[in-house]
Amino acid sequence: MKLKDNVKIAVIGLGYVGLPLARLFATKYSVVGFDINESRVNSLKSGTDTTLEVEDDVLQDVLVENPSEKNGLFCTTSLVDIENCNYYIVTVPTPVDRNNRPDLTPLYKSSETVGKVLKKGDIVVYESTVYPGVTEEQCVPVLERVSGLKFNEDFFAGYSPERINPGDKEHTVEKILKVTSGSTPEIGIKVDELYKSVITAGTHLAPTIKVAEAAKVIENSQRDINIAFVNELAKIFNLMNIDTQEVLTAAATKWNFLPFKPGLVGGHCIGVDPYYLAQRAQEFGYHPEIILAGRRLNDSMGEYVASQIVKLMIKKGISVNGANLLMLGITFKENCPDVRNTKIVDVIKALKDYGIAVTIFDPLANIDEVKREYKLETVNTLPTEKFDALVLGVAHSEFLDINFSNLQKDKSLIYDVKGILGTLADNRL
């Protein structure tokens, strides 16, 4: 099935997922990027991506000043600019609330937005990570209600889960194989052809939307469980005074050993997706044990890391109450400004509970965003004072160039959460 020449795509949500996808489609199609965040849209229109996912010169190459251009990306906050599109791709976040229950509010609101401009023959594709059934049972009814159109008669749906890895400049969107699906077999082929036209790594057409939704949610649940296993190993081996990293290095000499490392599991995917699957399972009367056990263990790691730091400070003769500590990094992963669901804040909170004064240095994190989300003060330039303890929480490349001796007191502690400092660190997770 060949794509029609009049393909016009609207990408709803221009964050870490939406912008790279919109930029890629814009190399071949007319694309309108829609976002409700006016400052974000203005920044993109000026040719700057503050998420660092798309390089400024690459973004500027596809930007156009008119939504009617044949090829290129036009960014907007206006509904009028997307009403002539025939493919709507929704890439909004799917977080959990404070009780770790799925929060579908962004999906509902974006579905209402699309519903206001939906026309006969249009296709709405969702990329947001969800549990099986959300697209057809939660989003489609919103589209029908707002548009007044009939699903699978007047308009159609698809699901193609995002696989963006924030901060990864090697596995960019076009180089990651894409799972696709449609609400009918014919629409599945159409959706697949659309993505196949720009994804060089190829596509996999799933038989149903629910299969594609399930495939996505188990990808990150699997990683979460594997990381929980090595985090538990780290706790065990620390009690035995055995270096966990050395154990993993030795075990990795076997060809089929999976190379996971201990650490803090945050972000908008691995730390969230298992809760979506768990809730859906519970709705069907099944209480997932391994999935939730892995989540509990990984969620406990912030306090565990803090307790390990405090124990080492005591062993070094450092007075804990009133000590000053420099936390290197607050984003959820290395070389990325994304602070969503970062577990570094759990470490910081626990350290403050011990009476430790924490200074947070992160050259990539947005100071205002950190303050708004976590009520924490951060700095973007390296402090010049000396500290009782230095904790490498995030493995930003810039941190490898730091002269740690300039930041240390006579008996300062260096703790390496990410295991990248080698002999510089007194200890690592």
Give catalytic residues, as residue numbers.
Answer: 269
Strand partners, 157: 124
The answer to whether the beta carbons of residues 34 and 8 sit under 8 Å apart is no
User: CB under 8 Å to 141, separation ≥6 — which residues?
Assistant: none
Q: What is the residue whose two structure tokens read 């780290």? A: 234
Q: Hunting for tokens 């908008």 — which residue is that? A: 268
Select from 183, 111, 103, 122 the least CA-distant residue to 145.
111
Measured distance CA(354)–CA(320) in Å, rounded: 7
- Chain centroid offset of residue 319 CA: 37
Measured distance CA(274)–CA(224) in Å, rounded = 8
User: Where are the strands (E) in 370-418, listed by range?
Assistant: 387-392, 408-416
CA 172 – CA 164 distance, rounded (Å): 7
Q: How far apart are CA 108 and CA 165, in angstroms?
A: 25
Query: For residue 310, which amino acid is it?
Result: V
Of 17, 106, 18, 30, nearest to 65 (Cα)? 30
CA-to-CA separations, 35 to 38, 65, 359, 376, in angstroms, rounded: 7, 16, 34, 27
User: Residue 319, SS3?
Assistant: coil
Residues 6+ apart with CB under 8 A from 8: 29, 30, 31, 32, 84, 85, 86, 87
